[in-house]
Amino acid sequence: MDCLFCKISKGEIPCYKVYEDDFVLAFLDIHPRSNGHTLIVPKKHYTDFTELDEEIIKHIYEVAKKIVALLQEKLNATGFCLNANYLDTQEIKHFHLHIVPSSKEKIEDVESIYNKLKN
């Protein structure tokens, strides 16, 4: 498959990885809406929400809770918006969940945020 998120999941394209297990990969968005803007993608290609089975949905949201806790701890984020891709509006047709922390702080470069999360 020639999908950007599939290539990132396979390690063919580098990313700022925040979390990984056998089923999902979470990484920082390279065009963040706020500091810590993270995407969670299943490693298996699913075009959109309608293709996900209940187990992977549950797992994605369990991982989202871990990521939110990390963002709270490392970036002092206090609020979050979670939204999934919508087939008609997303450039990449691979299901992904956005975790966008609420912040009034100036957006820093992704590498600086990544270093804060890893320390």
Pick from 40, 12, 16, 15: which is nearest to 26 by CA?
A: 40
DSSP letter for 50, please.
G
Cα(36)–Cα(63) distance, integer angstroms: 15
Compute φ and ψ for 24, nearest 5 degrees.
Answer: -140, 160
- Our answer to whether residue 96 is catalytic in this structure is yes
Q: Are 47 and 96 in contact (CB under 8 A)?
A: no
| From 59, 94, 96, 98, active-site residue | 96
Cα(100)–Cα(83) distance, integer angstroms: 8
Q: Which residues are part of the catalytic machinery? A: 96
